Structures are given as C-alpha cells and as structure tokens.
Amino acid sequence: MKKDLSVIILSYNTKDLTLQCVSQLQQALSKSSLQAEIIIVDNNSKDGSSDVLKKMSDNSNIKIIHNAGNSGYGKANNQGLALSEGRYVLYLNSDVLISGESFFDTLIGEMDSHSLYGALTVRVQLSSGGIDPASHRGFPTVWRSFCYYAGLEKLTAKIPLINRLFGGYHLTYLSQSTKHQIDSPTGAFFLVRKDILDTLEGFDEDFFMYGEDIDLAFRIKRLGYAIIYDPTYTVLHLKNQSGIKIKDDITVQKKTRKYFYESMAIFYKKHYEKNYPQLISTLVYAVINQKKTSL
C-alpha cells in the first residue's frame, strides 16, 4: 500500500460545492506530510459537474469515476474504495468544507497510535453553528428511536441522568466538547481504517441512501473497535444543499423521505429484529410504513 490516506467524495449535482470542497481539501492536504489521494465518484450529475471534474483530473492525486446512472450512495463509495490505496479512508461529503489549519497529520497520528480506534469523526458543524446531530449518534434501538420521535430526547436533553435514559438516539448526555466514544458518526466525515473496510467490504449496498453509515459503524463496533468523536477539529457541513433544489421539488422530497424510512426498516431487519419479540417488530414496521407514506 503506497498511500496514507484516500479521501472518497460522492458527487451528485453539487458542481459549485464539490469544487469548493475539493479545493479546500487539496489545500489542507498539501500542508500535511501525508501521502494522500482524492477519489471522486460522480453519479451522472446533470448540472455540468462532469466538466468541472474533468479539469480536476489533471491533478496527479485526484482520481475520477464517472457513472452512467445514480446507483446510490453506498455503491458509489464502494467503487471509490476499490480504487483506494491509502491505509485510511475518509468518506467526505461534497458539501463539507475543511478550512483553517490542516489537521490531517494529527488525526492520522491519533489513529496510528491507537490500534483500537476503528473509525473517527471530528466536530461536524452546521452553518447555524451547532453540531450536525447526525455526527454524534447512538445506535437506533427501538427504545432510543421511540424517545427521539416522541420528543422525549429533546425535552430531557439538559437534565442530567434523565438524559441518559431518554437521549440515547443522539447521545445527548455526552458533552460535545470532549473526546469520547460514540456509536456512529455521519458519512459526511467518516475516517476508517482501510483493513477493516476491506474485510467488511465497505458499505452495504442494500441501502440506497441514509442509514448506510450507521450500518457500517455498527459492523465496525461489533468487531470490537471503538469509534471516536474528537471535537478538537471542526469541519463545516452545508447540509441539505445537494439534490436538485430540494426545497422546491415535492417529488424529490418524497423520494428522499421514502429512502430514509426504507433504510430504517432495512437496519432494523438486519441487526435488531432477532432481538425483539414478533409483536414489537410488527409494530416497528407499521410505524415506519406509516411515516413513509404520510407525506
């Protein structure tokens, strides 16, 4: 293996963002002493991304894959994984900006000196200033999901001890300013050991979008590795700007919602169904189905 780090970015109708993301990333990487590469997988964007990407491919450390269709998030990232040569893989969303000091040296150093760390994420901040809740998650057990959707998590987020009971979905009882273990980061910034990804064969392609990051985290943790949230470093996540003008397009919105709840059902079936009585499972699927169609 020749490289230290492979950054894999999925591009889908985010021309300007992708450009900004990659140029900031390039800058950060150039300040580090790491041997790094960037792999961009384009899922047949319709906004002229491919011209921009073509220009980028002149860079010796950028590889581009053009797909003829949109085969989903997991599949595209797995194509990137197959090409990657780094000891570590960073899954990065095209709407994530890395600015300021380059932290890649210390981040990789931290992974190198802790063989128990299977994966790591940093403080993924939204434009509003708060952290992306998806970057600091617990595994969505039935109880945790119930507390979250019933609003109990939000209600108890600031109450010590009680939040331990009700705040498992986003681990609200753990301070966001200290380094600790979490269950799952977001796929927006997800640094993983390559050897683990090789054994696990990357993302599960049954998920089209949403949920594949939690599924991967689940499979990393059950091998006995830790997943670390380290807020020493921050990146900016300009969430909800990918997709074609999402806010105006009701069919896209519907589709997105459908994928979200389908992922939830796949995850439950794959990891939890065997642990719960049939009655609970029936109820879980009914609720998911209701949510999926209620838009």
Which lies closer to another protein via its Cβ, residue 99 or residue 181?
181
Rounded to whole angstroms, the Cα distance separating 207 from 269 reads 12
Number of residues interacting with another protein: please give it, by CB under 8 A: 16
Q: Is 240 helix (H, G, I), strand (E, B) or coil?
A: coil
Could you tell me whether strands 226-237 and 180-182 are parallel, antiparallel, or unpaired per DSSP bridges? antiparallel
Binding-site member from 30, 181, 232, 282 for another protein (CB under 8 A): 181
Minimum CB distance to another protein, residue 226 (Å): 6
Is residue 168 a contact partner of residue 133, using CB atoms and an 8 Å limit?
no
* Long-range contacts of the stretch 152-159 (C-beta < 8 A, 24+): none
- Tell me whether residue 224 is exposed, middle or buried, using C-beta atoms within 10 angstroms of its C-beta: 0 to 12, 13 to 18, 19 or more: exposed
Residues in 224-253 at the binding interface with another protein, rule: CB under 8 A:
224-226
Least Cα distance to 173 among 185, 162, 163 occurs for 163
Which lies closer to another protein via its Cβ, residue 60 or residue 113?
113
Rounded to whole angstroms, the Cα distance separating 37 from 50 reads 19
Q: Does 87 bind another protein (CB under 8 A)?
A: no
Q: Does 174 bind another protein (CB under 8 A)?
A: no
Residues in 108-167 at the binding interface with another protein, rule: CB under 8 A:
114-116, 118
Identity at 30, one-letter amino acid code: S
Minimum CB distance to another protein, residue 204 (Å): 10
For another protein, which stretch binds (CB under 8 A), given 11-19, 55-63, 77-85, 216-224?
216-224
Minimum CB distance to another protein, residue 224 (Å): 5
Minimum CB distance to another protein, residue 201 (Å): 8
Which lies closer to another protein via its Cβ, residue 115 or residue 128?
115
Rounded to whole angstroms, the Cα distance separating 106 from 124 reads 17
Rounded to whole angstroms, the Cα distance separating 122 from 28 reads 15
Interface residues with another protein (CB under 8 A)?
114-116, 118, 181, 195-196, 199-201, 219, 222-226
